[in-house]
Amino acid sequence: MIETRGLGKDYGSQRALDAVDLSIPPGTIGLLGPNGAGKTTLIKCLLNLETPSRGTARVLGQDIREHDRDSRLRVGYSPEQDCHISGMAGCEYVTYCGQLSGMSFRSARQRTHEILDLVGMGQERYRRVETYSTGMKQRVKFAQALVHDPELVFLDEPTNGLDPSGREHILRLVGSLHRELGTSVVVSSHLLHDVERICDRVVIVAGGRVLEHESMAALKSRHRRVVELTPSAETERFVSVLASAGCTVERLTNGRLRTPSPTASIEWILRLMHEHRLPPAEIVANPDALHELFLQALSTAGALPPPLPPGGGAS
């Protein structure tokens, strides 16, 4: 889906990207890194919105330099910054974006209303975009990225400004795009939990360099195996059953139970639940794996902020 070799970008003496080598298959990919890591610059280079200083890149099989506009026709992009056109209603703006991608007005208008329904916009679509809240602007940005049915979508901080219910809706939608529609997604975010929840691969960037590129399954298998579970009822019986199976159970402040796992799979705990007729439970395998890898990668690259002095804080 995306392939880069020695991709680099300089702004004067500032090196924003440094020899990025990637080979990313289709799926839902999380692009992680601290502020200023080079995430947005990488996306803009792949979209040819910024001209790389060196190296090569192919998106959906097309060289971005040889096929400048063509390489973008099959791609959607929702930037972090506002990108609306003042004076246009939301549905007019998304329709216009569809036309810019080569759709007829009629097709773009019909598809616009389908996509605005999909992202959870109601009658607000008929209001001017500049009157929208931050969350509504996020939704209309997402809609314009999807209106032309792209094969690949880049989403830069797609849940910024959304309330909890809106964030949940967008996360579910992003997580379903590849599974249900075959649309691959690259999500740039600083929210590790969101990325771990919806992505099947992760790319960690810091200082303009790729520090890690790994599938989520391989990532979890590399780390200490732990299971967290939240019983729907009979918590004490869960503790008793796990203890009788030789497991050390830790009670967390959020009501969850944590126990070491003998395997990367959760089949063993499902078997215990079935045998002892335990009630349903939410089960999360290796919940801290991505967080541990993220901190480890940044520490190795020297990209972690210095620790506060003893007893120190903001003054």
Neighbours of 283 (CB within 10 A): 15
Q: Which pLDDT belongs to residue 307?
A: 45
Nearest Cα neighbor of 173 from 139, 125, 217 is 139
Rounded Cα gap, residues 21 and 39, in angstroms: 14
The answer to whether residues 244 and 204 belong to one domain is no
Decide if 57 contacts 9 (C-beta within 8 A): no
> Residue 234: which domain range?
224-287
Residues 165 and 241 both lie in one domain: no
The amino acid sitting at 296 is Q
Reply yes or no on whether the pLDDT at 123 is more than 90: yes
Considering the domain architecture, whether residues 251 and 111 belong to the same structural domain is answered as: no
CB 124 within 8 A of CB 132: yes
Q: Please check whether residue 50 lies inside any domain of the structure.
A: yes
**126 phi/psi in degrees, rounded to 5:** -95, 0
Q: Which of 168, 199, 219 is the last residue of a domain?
A: 219
pLDDT tier at 107, thresholds 50, 70, 90: very high
Question: Could you tell me the CATH number of the domain that includes residue 259?
Answer: 3.30.70.980
Residue 309 is predicted with a pLDDT of 45
**pLDDT of 303 over the 70 cut:** no
Mean pLDDT of the chain: 85
Each residue's pLDDT tens digit, 18-60: 999 999 999 999 998 877 788 999 999 999 889 999 999 999 9
Residue 294: CB atoms within 10 A of its CB come to 22
The 10s digit of each residue's pLDDT in 86-105 is 899 999 999 999 999 889 99
Q: Does residue 304 fall inside a structural domain?
A: no
In this structure, what DSSP letter does residue 131 have?
G
Same domain, 110 and 43: yes
Which is higher by pLDDT, 225 or 186?
186
104-120 per-residue burial string, b: 16 or more CB within 10 A, e: under 16: eeeebbebbeebbeebb
Q: Is residue 71 part of a domain?
A: yes
What's the total number of domains in the chain?
A: 2
Q: Are residues 152 and 245 in the same domain?
A: no
Distance CA 101, CA 274 (A): 52
213 and 272 within one domain: no
Q: What is the pLDDT at residue 130?
A: 93
Q: Is residue 74 part of a domain?
A: yes
Q: How many CA atoms lie within 13 A of 200 on its CB side?
A: 13
Quick one: pLDDT at residue 291?
Answer: 66
Are residue 102 and residue 153 in the same domain, yes or no?
yes
Provide the terminal-to-terminal Cα distance of the chain, rounded to the nearest Å. Answer: 48
In the numeric block, the tokens 């924003």 are attached to 16
Question: Whole-angstrom Cα distance, residue 194 to residue 175?
Answer: 10
Residues 114 and 32 in one domain: yes
pLDDT-derived band of residue 313, with 50, 70 and 90 as boundaries?
very low
| DSSP 8-state code for residue 85 | -
pLDDT at 197 exceeding the cut of 90: no
In a domain, 264, yes or no: yes
Residues 57 and 152 in one domain: yes
Is residue 110 located within the same domain as residue 89?
Answer: yes
Average pLDDT, stretch 216-222? 71
